[in-house]
Amino acid sequence: MQQFLNIITSQSIYGAVFATLVFVGVGFACSKIGLISSEMNMKLSLTTINYFLPVLCFGAFMKNAEFSNISTILKVLITAFGFYILFAIYAKLVINYWPKLISNRIQKKAILAWEKANKPGEYSAYKQAYIRSYQERLLAIEMIIAYGSLQYFAFPLIKSLSETGVGQSPIFEEFAIALLQIWNIPFLIGVSTHMRMTYAGIKVNRKELKSLGKALLHPMLITLYISLICYLLQFAFRTQFIDPNATLDKSLNISNYGYYQYVYNPEIHKSIPQEYLHHFWAAFPKQLPMFGMTIAMGVSIVSPIAWINIGASLHRSNVKSGIKSLSVWMSVIRKLIIAPLVMLFVISIPMVYTKFINVSTGVLFVLLMACPPATACVTYSLASNHKEIDYTAQVSSLATLCCLFTIPLWVVGSFCILTIL
């Protein structure tokens, strides 16, 4: 209970929520008065994905090398691949066999629809068409649940609630941002292959496997690979740099201030506080501030631009129609409540309880499932002329609006639950 009170009285959680609402409101207002057109909003979204997010990935692994982080990276990567593979199998089974398991209910609905349409043609053919339509709806729902808008919604909150140089954050570790990018590797592969092929009705073949290679060469992932490789090289090259802003004892007599190697004088090394020592990739933004400042500024503008983009999209979406539809609300509940609840109890709680992952990573998993549907759901739905385009857009819009309030609740709630294990 005390842990919960500490979190809900923390300024950081309210600051993250308030900042989100303000910038989303700015985007909504700019779109409403015509400052941001649909074309401009689309270009802004593409610019963020292709240019700003790669900068974010480039700086994600600028941390000191720790063996515990390598273990966590592998665990997150395996969990992410396992999640998307198992969900793809689950979605296939649900789409193909669920209508048959509830055939009596579908048959009743099909009869009512057939009679309402003045009985056009044979009932058996009408029933098959009704089942196919139901399968199309199931396909849209499963894609919406599996693939969330991770970077736009998860990153800003993680960054706001991550530890800083001042002290320990109440929820996320600083390395959680890097783990988010690791999860994005299987995510982008799934979006570019499974989602695209499922919407288009394409079966797996050699030609379509080429899209896997394209997914792995996404600009965001290329910068992630570079940063990750540099991070791993720190284990081989143990050169350490002293923070230029560090206040050290003058008696240490360090001749080359700002640079230090462990092998030269272990006694001096031990006397320097660890927070002032960085391996070469972690020290990169501090030792070369002109690059460090550029990366920091690039990362800092990702969240505001993403939120403005979301606000403009909300204004141009058909939220009102979605609010009036019970089926849309059911899918929003599945996405924003049931999906993160399943993630919490099936994956996060068992993994944290067995010490397989820490609390920060467990909360991260829940947060990723609590994000609203990815923009790609609407994009691929449009590209394949899917029958549930409007439904997908309505669920996406309403979920985006509601998640501004549900995501903080999931972060706080899951953290409180996982910390008592």
Question: Domain segments of the chain: what residues?
Answer: 2-419
Rounded to whole angstroms, what are the CA distances from 59 to 65, 276, 344? 14, 19, 29
H-helix or E-strand spanning residue 277: strand 277-279
Token duo for residue 268: 């001096």
In the block, tokens 């230029």 appear at 244
State residue 119's pLDDT score: 61
Residue 280, pLDDT score: 83
Distance between CA atoms of 242 and 230, rounded to whole angstroms? 18
Residue 201, phi-psi category: left (phi > 0), alpha (psi -120 to 50), beta (remainder): left
Buried b (16+ CB within 10 A) or exposed e, 101-132: eeeeebeeebeeebeeeeeeeeeeebbeebbe
CA distance 28 to 14: 21
**Closest-CA residue to 258 (of 275, 238, 277, 274):** 277
d(CA 272, CA 325): 63
Q: What is the number of alpha carbons within 13 Å of residue 229 lying toward its C-beta?
A: 6
pTM value?
0.84
Q: What's the confidence (pLDDT) of residue 263?
A: 39
User: For residue 284, what are the contacts with CB-CB under 8 A and spacing of at least 6?
Assistant: 62, 230, 291, 292
* Consecutive 10-residue averages of pLDDT for the chain (421 residues): 61 73 90 89 82 85 88 96 95 86 68 66 67 88 94 84 56 90 92 85 67 76 91 82 69 52 52 76 85 87 85 81 90 97 97 96 97 87 83 90 91 92 83
